[in-house]
Amino acid sequence: MTTIRITFEKCGEAAYISLLDLQRVFHRILKRSGLPVYYTQGFNPHIYLSFACPLSLGQESLCESCEVKTEAENPDLEQWKETLQPYMPRGIVITRVAVAVQKIAEIETAVYRITMPATAAPALEEYNAAPSAVVVKKTKRGQKELELKTYLPQIAYTVVPEGVAFDLKLPCGTGEALNLNPSLLLGYLQQNHNIPPWECRVLRTGLYTKTGEEFC
């Protein structure tokens, strides 16, 4: 059995497809494709599907992925890509279909490209100057306070045509490991500096493993 990773972009309208809905979409598209994907062996067989570190609703990504399995030997993965793409929702563009190299559990960090209106620049300066920036993070066991500055001491932004932009590297662990969402920073800036989060764009650009390699 081989694990196949389907890597795709999720931008524009597709940013509003929830994980639950995305699972159903992929299930249907894989089913209709007739590709030799592995079905779980049970009373009610369904396609084995596993999404890596799914995004929050409204955020965009260049590097989403899901795993399927196949018992086929030497599958033509370029053909898989061509078969699947025409039936994808708008905004989902498959960039790569390949044999999985790493396991999802090896993902450690994610990098996001954040774009904000130019008016956010003073707020970012204030953030950089502040000794502390405490946010409340919701977890499965309730709320807990978290010092953003531990993970994000400085924001080095640049001026771009749309306003200002910067890259954000945040822990993106699976399971019990720490996972920080860029919305924590956006929430902090909204609460303390009135920066409307809907005027900010969050684009995930890469996922990296413990050894610093790009997840694939």
Partner 1 sequence: MPELSTKLRQALSQVQKPGRYTGGEPGSTYKDKEKVDVRMAFCFPDTYEVGMSFLGEKILYELLNRHENWWCERAFMPWTDMKQQMEQLGIPLYCLESKDPLRDFDIVGFTLEYELCYTNILAMLDLSGIPLRAADRDERWPLIIAGGPCVCNAEPMADFFDVMQLGEGEQMLQDICATVETSKKQGWNRQRLLEELAKIPGVYIPSFYNVTYKEDGRIEAVTPNRPGVPARVTKAIVKDMDSFVPPENFVVPMVGAIQDRASVEVLRGCVRGCRFCQAGQIYRPFRERSPQLISESARVLCHNTGYDELSLTSLSTSDHSRLEEILDRLNSWAEADHVSLSLPSLRVDNFSQSMVEKTTKVRKSGLTFAAEAGTQRLRDVINKNVTWEEIERGCNIAFSEGYTSVKLYFMMGLPTETMEDIKGIADTAQKVVDLYYANKNHAKGKGVQVTISVACFVPKPDTPFQFCAQDRREQLREKQRYLLSCVHSKKIKVNYHDSATSVLEGVFAKGDRRLGRVIETAYRHGAFFDTWEEYFDYDRWLEAFRECGIDPDFYNYREIGLDEVTPWDHLDVGVTHAHLVREYQKALRAETTQPCNRQCSGCGANKLLGGPCFDYHSDHV
Determine which helix (DSSP H) or strand (DSSP E) holds 124, and give its type and residue range: helix 121-129
CB of 85 to partner 1, least distance (A): 11
CB of 92 to partner 1, least distance (A): 9
Query: Does 199 participate in binding partner 1 (rule CB under 8 A)?
Result: yes
Contact in structure between 10 and 17 (CB atoms under 8 Å): yes
3-state secondary structure 181-216: CCHHHHHHHHHHHCCCHHHCEEEEEEEEECCCCECC
Query: Does 87 participate in binding partner 1 (rule CB under 8 A)?
Result: yes
Secondary structure class of 45 (helix, strand, coil): coil
Question: For partner 1, which residue of 13, 71, 82, 125 counts as binding (CB under 8 A)?
Answer: 13
CB of 60 to partner 1, least distance (A): 11
Query: Does 22 participate in binding partner 1 (rule CB under 8 A)?
Result: yes
CB of 90 or CB of 140, closer to partner 1: 90
**CB atoms < 10 A from the CB of 79, how many?**
11
Question: Given the rule CB under 8 A, which residues bind partner 1?
Answer: 11-14, 16-18, 21-22, 24-25, 27-32, 57-58, 87-91, 196-199
